Amino acid sequence: MTSPCATVTGAARGIGFAIARRLTRDGWRIVIADCETDRGRRAAEQLDQARFVPTDVTDETAVEALFRDLGQSEGGLDLLVNNAAIADPSNGPIESLSPAAWHQRLNTNLTSAYLCTHFAVPLLRAREGGIVNIASTRALQSEPDCEAYAAAKGGLIALTHALAVSLGPAIRVNAVSPGWIDTSASPTDANPQSEALTASDHAQHPVGRVGGVDDVAAAVAWLASADSSFMSGENLVLDGGMRRRMIYTD
């Protein structure tokens, strides 16, 4: 039996790379779709059973070509992980957030998930596959000046439950909302830098630490497995308990 096939968008580095690495260890074939060509190639070289397809997930023609390639070269698709994003949540004050910058963030962080899903569904339906969308706790709580990121991630959670109802029972659709995840030591960067996290960065989390990329990868691996077969339309919050901490000051 051939191994199942997943495509992970934005897997050239960070959380996406960790998801791809974890899935290959679990026996999946992976197609990395990312717009960063050098990093994307390096990422695929570091993994067994992975290849890289340069893809800008905001470009309809490129996304259509990606899924045509998946159908022809891989013979189908079992899992789509919509992870690619402009991951910096800050957009500056709303008065200076231009319509162009707003649309760029919404296109990259939300519309891309619609586009990939649109082209992936015929392949996923044939295999009774799944979709995992990487959202954020910033869909649920905010710092100042993060409107575009928060709106996109909130939209992604709504898209998740809408798709789960439309596409079930053939296709399960879930989201993971990470909190603070340390991505600084990405093994696909030419000069990986590990930012020094402080003791208070870790201690403020009820679990006592900032999250790591493998925490998110483990959640995605579970959502991709038959062990989660009774879950669809959900948003799995993965933030070390931070959302449950009351933070009013005296």
Binding site for ligand NAI (CB under 6 A): 9-10, 12-16, 34-36, 55-58, 83-87, 108, 134, 136, 178, 180-181, 183
Closer residue to ligand NAI, CB minimum distance, 59 or 126: 59
> CA 76 → CA 29, 59, 83, 97, 131, distances in Å?
11, 21, 20, 41, 14
**Cβ contact 110:86 at 8 Å:** no
What is the spatial distance between Cα 128 and Cα 135, in angstroms, rounded to a whole number? 23
Work out how close the CB of 168 gets to ligand NAI at its nearest, in angstroms, rounded to a whole number.
24
- The nearer residue to ligand NAI, 62 or 126, going by C-beta atoms, is 62
Please indicate whether residue 114 is annotated as part of the active site.
no
Q: Are 217 and 14 in contact (CB under 8 A)?
A: no
Q: Give dist(CA 95, CA 72) in Å, integer.
A: 47
Judge whether 25 and 175 are in contact, CB under 8 Å.
Answer: no
Instruction: Reduce the DSSP state of residue 178 to 3 states and report it.
Output: strand
| Shortest reach from residue 203's CB to ligand NAI, in Å | 18
* Among 44, 149, 164, 221, the one annotated catalytic: 149
Q: How many CA atoms lie within 13 A of 148 on its CB side?
A: 26
Task: Choose between 65 and 126: whose C-beta lies nearer to ligand NAI.
Answer: 65
Question: Closest residue (Cβ) to ligand NAI?
Answer: 14
Say which DSSP state 107 is in: I
Report in angstroms how near the CB of residue 159 gets to ligand NAI at its nearest: 13
* CB closer to ligand NAI, 149 vs 170: 149
Q: What angle do CA 171, 177, 179 make, to 5 degrees?
A: 160
Q: How far is the CB of 127 from ligand NAI (least distance, A)?
A: 23
Q: Which residues are catalytic?
A: 149
